[in-house]
Amino acid sequence: MTSFVAKIRRGNKTYYKNKSKKLLFGTHGSDGLMMKFIVYALLIGIGFVYLYPLIYMGSYSLKSLDDILNPLVNWIPSTLYLDNYQQALSVLNFLPTFGQTLYVTALPALIQTVVAAVVGYGFARFDFPIKRILFGLVLATFIIPPQVTMIPQYVFFNEIGILGSVMSFILPALFGQGINSAIFILIFYQFFKMLPQSLEEAAQLDGAGQARIFLTIAIPMAGPAIIISFLFSFVWYWNETYLASIYFGNAMTTLPLELQRFVATFEQMNQGGGEGGGSSINEGIKMAGTMLTILPLLIIYLITQKWFVEGVDRSGIAGE
């Protein structure tokens, strides 16, 4: 059987001689049809399991209560039912919340990116005493759980009166201590390290200062790193609920935070409404709410996924 398969392949025949040993792990030269089939089957199978929660979410969010209760309706709802989304939109107070989320996400992400670029450039292109120690500290900050520094920061922010405002996200980002700042500094470090020294020297001969070299030569070339850092920052700030709930308190809210109190808000609304009797929360509405929370991220990801995927490549952690 295996030798037959080997024959219809155009490749090198001796390659396939001890085919029986060629298991999944045969990274190179595993071109047999059987092998291909197994690879695709595995990828598709695992991919399905992987996406199963999302498919479930999408399907349930479109189901009416009848469909949910009806055991015959499995994946595809019998009718396109958008009421869940309507309810979820009002429970999440979608548009204002979305605007606020965007505000407390994009702004810190942008600042974090800018600062990481500056700091990464400093580490990559200059030599100064204790540079190695400082860079080691940058990486070390990655493993400190935010919980350890959070209480003092909370006290500190309270003192200077920036709790409940976006400043409590911006200020740490401005000084390179935002969410996962260490990773972004590392990305820029790797990126600026690769720039040829001669460029800098040429600019210096033309009389450009270090600041100008950074602004007019390094930054324009760092496009990919900037986009990657901004996108990752954006996503991580968006999904940060723990710090957000503590720093923002009741003053500001984000979509994930609203999702956290989804059921409570729903019940409150339906009691207050009085005549809204009969409508009680069900999986469909909850799934629609979850869907709406991640929808902006999904859209951004679908447009920019190339950058995300390449980002990990570019970060240079995978060796060089």
Partner 1 sequence: MKQLSMKNRKSMTGFMFILPWVIGFLLFTAVPLSYSLYLSFQDVRITPAGIQTTFISFENYEYAFGMDALFTQKLLIFFREIVVSVPIIIVFSLIIALLLNQKVRFRMFFRTVFFLPVIIISGPVIHELMDQGVTSIPSIEEYAVFQTLLSSGEGFLAATVIYLMQNLIMILWFSGVQILIFLAALQKIDDKIYEAAKIDGASNWECFWKVTLPSLFPMIIVNLIYTIVTYSIFSLNPVIEHIQDNMFRTDTGFGYASALSWIYFLLITIILFISVLLISLRGRKKYA
86-125: contacts with partner 1 (CB under 8 A):
115, 118-119, 121-123, 125
- For residues 193 and 178, what is the distance between their CA atoms, to the nearest angstrom? 23
Sole binder of partner 1 in the list 66, 201, 267, 313 (CB under 8 A): 313
Rule CB under 8 A: say whether 214 interacts with partner 1.
yes
- For residues 21 and 192, what is the distance between their CA atoms, to the nearest angstrom? 45
Q: Which is nearer to partner 1, 100 or 153 (CB)?
A: 153
Distances from the Cα of 38 to the Cα of 32, 50, 113, angstroms: 10, 18, 42
Q: Which is nearer to partner 1, 194 or 273 (CB)?
A: 194
* CB 55 to partner 1: min, Å: 9
The span of 74-82, 86-94, 264-272, 301-309 binding partner 1 (CB under 8 A) equals 301-309
Binding to partner 1, residues 223-242 (CB under 8 A): 235, 238-242
Rule CB under 8 A: say whether 249 interacts with partner 1.
no
Distances from the Cα of 164 to the Cα of 146, 150, 250, 253, angstroms: 18, 15, 7, 9
- For residues 228 and 191, what is the distance between their CA atoms, to the nearest angstrom? 12
* Angle at CA of residue 89, ends 84 and 91, nearest 5°: 95
Binding to partner 1, residues 147-206 (CB under 8 A): 147-153, 155-156, 171-172, 174-177, 185
Composition of the chain by helix, strand, coil, percent to 5: 75, 0, 25
278 Ramachandran zone, left/alpha/beta (phi>0; psi -120 to 50): left
Residue pair 59/257 in contact (Cβ under 8 Å)? The answer is no
Q: Which is nearer to partner 1, 69 or 298 (CB)?
A: 298
Q: Which is nearer to partner 1, 22 or 94 (CB)?
A: 22
Sole binder of partner 1 in the list 72, 143, 205, 303 (CB under 8 A): 143
* CB 274 to partner 1: min, Å: 28
Virtual torsion, Cα 282, 288, 290, 294, nearest 10 deg: 180
The span of 76-84, 95-103, 142-150, 273-281 binding partner 1 (CB under 8 A) equals 142-150
Sole binder of partner 1 in the list 23, 80, 95, 205 (CB under 8 A): 23
Binding to partner 1, residues 27-56 (CB under 8 A): 27-31, 39-40, 42-43, 46-47, 49-54, 56
* Angle at CA of residue 214, ends 210 and 219, nearest 5°: 175
Binding to partner 1, residues 261-290 (CB under 8 A): 262, 283, 286-287, 289-290
